[in-house]
C-alpha cells in the first residue's frame, strides 16, 4: 500500500504533470473561445498574432523565470507547480496552432480548426507527454532506494 502512496507522491511532484494540465487547459479554452465565436487570431493595430506566438512568448517568459528561481534553489509551489503549469499553457497554445503550421498557413478556416487531423495531432502530443510522465514516475520509483 505504501508503494501506491509513493507513486502518487512522485506523480504529484512531477513538473510534467503540470505542463500536461496547462497544455490541456490552453487547448480546451482556445477551442471553447473559437466555438463561442472568437477569432482564431488576435489582431492588434493591423498586426496578426496567431496564438502560436502568444504561446511561444509565454514559454519564453516562464523559461527565464525558471532560471532566475533556480538560482535561489527554490523548491516552493511557484517553481514546482505554477511555472510548469504556465509553461504548459504556452505549449498548449503552440501545439493548438500546429495545424496552421502543418498546412503552410493556406486555407486555414474554422472548419480546419476542428479538423480530425488537428485534434488527432494534439491528442498524440498529449499522449507522448503522458508517456513521459509514466516513465519519469517509474524511474523515480525504481531509483528511490
Domain boundaries, position 103: 7-139
pLDDT confidence of residue 32: 84
Write out pLDDT tens, residues 39-80: 666 777 777 677 778 888 989 998 888 877 766 666 676 677
**49 part of a folded domain:** yes
**144 part of a folded domain:** no
**28 part of a folded domain:** yes
Q: What is the pTM of this model?
A: 0.74
Task: Quote the number of domains for the chain.
Answer: 1
**79 part of a folded domain:** yes
7 grid coordinates: 507513486
pLDDT confidence of residue 1: 44
* Whole-number Å distance between alpha carbons of 47 and 77: 37
The string of DSSP codes covering 70-116 is HHTT--SHIIIIIHHHHHHHHHHHHHHTHHHHHTTTSS--HHHHT-H
pLDDT higher than threshold 80 for residue 141: no
Write out pLDDT tens, residues 57-67: 989 998 888 87
Amino acid at each position: 500500500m505504501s508503494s501506491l502512496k509513493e507513486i502518487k507522491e512522485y506523480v504529484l511532484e512531477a513538473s510534467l504533470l503540470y505542463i500536461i494540465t496547462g497544455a490541456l487547459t490552453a487547448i480546451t479554452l482556445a477551442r471553447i473561445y473559437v466555438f463561442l465565436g472568437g477569432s482564431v487570431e488576435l489582431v492588434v493595430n493591423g498586426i496578426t498574432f496567431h496564438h502560436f506566438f502568444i504561446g511561444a512568448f509565454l514559454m519564453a517568459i516562464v523559461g527565464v523565470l525558471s532560471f532566475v528561481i533556480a538560482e535561489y534553489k527554490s523548491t516552493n509551489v511557484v517553481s514546482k507547480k505554477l511555472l510548469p503549469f504556465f509553461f504548459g499553457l504556452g505549449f498548449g497554445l503552440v501545439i493548438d496552432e500546429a495545424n496552421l503550421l502543418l498546412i503552410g498557413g493556406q486555407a486555414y478556416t474554422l472548419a480546419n480548426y476542428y479538423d480530425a487531423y488537428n485534434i488527432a495531432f494534439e491528442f498524440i502530443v498529449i499522449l507522448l507527454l503522458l508517456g513521459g510522465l509514466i516513465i519519469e514516475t517509474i524511474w523515480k520509483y525504481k531509483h528511490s532506494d
